[in-house]
């Protein structure tokens, strides 16, 4: 039996959401099974404030979850609310004409300052908005304060040359300046170097309007190789968790989403005393704004959901400061709502910076890149990390996958 067929049967077997309007409980299907306690906490809060509770139905296997949601589009049993991904995956789902329009929620949210204007384009298709942010994470640099102090660094860098000088000082003291991995997140430094050099090229790659073999992309790979040749990275093949590498001091800096803050806290580190964070400066100085990669998981409703009015009511409540403050601080992460103050001062600082007027947000490479190209790219970047001299070959491999995809899309 195929995965989609299995998912369709599961919908029917579990009874789905066969109830009609006037719901008092919404089932929230999600691919974040580990977040069940946080969803339940917000469900209790929403019940007391707007009379709608939330029952989270979490999945931990992404393929099974996506098949389940897609199968639900073809059955009478529709989910109330569900999570998804931005970029091409969201656009593909919206193209089915079954996702609810949330334009009014966005316009009202932006007017009230509950949603940042610079996030709106990533939820916009054909001039309409769909879904609202479930969560948001900004990709910033985490740094070990003891390592910095040992290398004589008193403040985080404010430009690229300063970052490279700090990396050299850390290396001279025996620290690995930057974390890097060839497992899944092999794209991280390609993403950062490209958005910091040519964000327009980065966006054109995502839509097939540029090639991975273009000179600007080649130059980024050459810069990446140069940094590796200088010994600025930790072992990309290490199985040791990045939080453990940071805690031990082996690795001084780690470039990841703000969700990494939770891992550092769980590892026993204290924000603002053991570690800090800063927005990564652009590689080049030509851009008027700093480029920051972000990821956001949409919270969506179907146009023909069991109770569209209840879903809309919940999503309007979800983006408000009270709900978002609880949601973000319980997970020790940031909120999409600029009015929310994060309890962690360092996290709050980067969150305010990322939503400010001096920053442009770039969709995370993992979400912006079509799946068939992404699969080839992750393998190719891993191959590059194993043999940095192979960058031309790896770019050609990714472009072959891109040519094949864009030929029919």
Residue 259 sits in the same domain as residue 224: yes
Other beta carbons within 10 angstroms of residue 100's beta carbon come to 19
Residue 148 sits in the same domain as residue 263: yes
Residue 378 sits in the same domain as residue 230: yes
Which SS3 state, helix, strand or coil, does residue 199 take? helix
CATH number assigned to the domain comprising residue 323: 3.40.190.10
Residue 168 sits in the same domain as residue 149: yes
Which SS3 state, helix, strand or coil, does residue 331 take? helix
Our measurement of the distance from residue 97's CA atom to the centroid of its chain's CA atoms, rounded to an integer in Å, reads: 25
> What domain count does the chain have?
2
Q: Are 395 and 213 a contacting pair, CB within 8 Å?
A: yes
Residues 6+ apart with CB under 8 A from 389: 225
What does the buried/exposed string (b/e) look like for 120-135 if buried means 16 or more CB atoms within 10 Å of the residue's CB? eebbebeeebbbbbbb
Q: Where are the beta strands (DSSP E) in 258-401?
A: 275-278, 290-301, 359-363
Our measurement of the distance from residue 102's CA atom to the centroid of its chain's CA atoms, rounded to an integer in Å, reads: 21
Residue 28 sits in the same domain as residue 123: yes
Residue 49 sits in the same domain as residue 32: yes
Question: Tokens 């964070």 — which residue?
Answer: 277
Residue 171 sits in the same domain as residue 255: yes
Residue 203 sits in the same domain as residue 305: no
Q: Are 281 and 160 a contacting pair, CB within 8 Å?
A: yes
Residue 22 sits in the same domain as residue 57: yes
Residue 79 sits in the same domain as residue 16: yes
Residue 352 sits in the same domain as residue 370: no
Whole domain around residue 381: which residue ranges?
138-292+365-408
Q: What is the pLDDT along the chain (409 residues), one digit of tens a residue?
A: 344 334 433 443 343 443 446 899 999 999 999 899 999 999 999 999 999 999 999 998 888 998 999 998 888 888 999 999 888 889 889 999 999 999 999 999 999 999 988 899 999 999 999 999 999 999 999 999 999 999 999 999 999 999 999 999 999 999 999 999 998 899 999 999 999 999 999 999 999 999 999 999 999 999 999 999 999 999 999 999 999 999 999 999 999 999 999 899 999 999 999 999 999 999 997 777 999 999 999 999 999 899 999 999 999 999 999 999 999 999 989 999 989 999 999 999 988 888 788 899 999 999 999 989 999 999 999 999 999 999 999 999 999 999 999 999 8
Residue 175 sits in the same domain as residue 247: yes
């Amino acid at each position: 039996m195929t995965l989609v067929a299995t998912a369709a049967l599961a919908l029917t077997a579990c009874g789905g959401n066969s109830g009609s309007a006037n719901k008092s409980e919404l089932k929230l299907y999600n691919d974040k099974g580990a977040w069940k306690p946080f969803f339940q906490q917000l469900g209790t809060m929403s019940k007391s404030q707007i009379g709608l509770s939330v029952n989270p139905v979490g999945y931990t296997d992404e393929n099974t979850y996506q098949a389940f949601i897609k199968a639900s589009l073809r059955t009478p049993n529709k989910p109330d609310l569900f999570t998804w991904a931005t970029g091409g995956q969201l656009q593909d789902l919206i193209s089915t004409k079954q996702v609810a329009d949330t334009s009014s929620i966005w316009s009202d949210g932006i007017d009230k300052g509950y949603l940042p204007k610079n996030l709106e384009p990533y939820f916009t298709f054909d001039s309409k908005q769909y879904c609202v942010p479930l969560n948001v994470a900004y990709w910033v640099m985490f740094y070990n304060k003891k390592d910095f102090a040992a290398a004589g660094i008193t403040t985080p860098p404010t430009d690229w040359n300063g970052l490279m000088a700090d990396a050299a000082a850390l290396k001279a003291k025996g620290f690995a300046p930057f974390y890097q991995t060839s497992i899944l997140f092999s794209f991280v430094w390609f993403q950062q170097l490209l958005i910091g050099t040519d964000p327009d090229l980065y966006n054109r790659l995502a839509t097939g309007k540029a090639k991975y073999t273009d000179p600007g992309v080649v130059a980024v790979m050459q810069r990446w190789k140069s940094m590796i040749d200088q010994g600025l990275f930790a072992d990309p093949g290490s199985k040791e968790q990045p939080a453990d590498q940071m805690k031990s001091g082996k690795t001084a800096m780690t470039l990841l989403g703000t969700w990494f803050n939770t891992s550092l806290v769980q590892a026993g580190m204290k924000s603002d005393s053991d570690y800090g964070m800063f927005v990564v400066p652009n590689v080049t100085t030509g851009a008027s704004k700093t480029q920051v990669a972000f990821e956001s998981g949409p919270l969506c409703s179907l146009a023909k959901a069991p109770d569209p009015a209840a879903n809309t009511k919940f999503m309007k409540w979800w983006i408000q400061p009270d709900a978002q403050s609880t949601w973000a601080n319980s997970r020790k992460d940031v909120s999409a709502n600029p009015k929310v103050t994060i309890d962690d001062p360092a996290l709050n600082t980067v969150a305010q910076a990322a939503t400010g007027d001096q920053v442009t947000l770039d969709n995370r490479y993992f979400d912006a890149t079509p799946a068939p190209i992404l699969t080839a790219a992750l393998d190719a970047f891993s191959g590059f990390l194993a043999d940095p001299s192979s960058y031309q070959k790896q770019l050609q491999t990714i472009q072959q996958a891109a040519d094949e995809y864009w030929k029919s899309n």
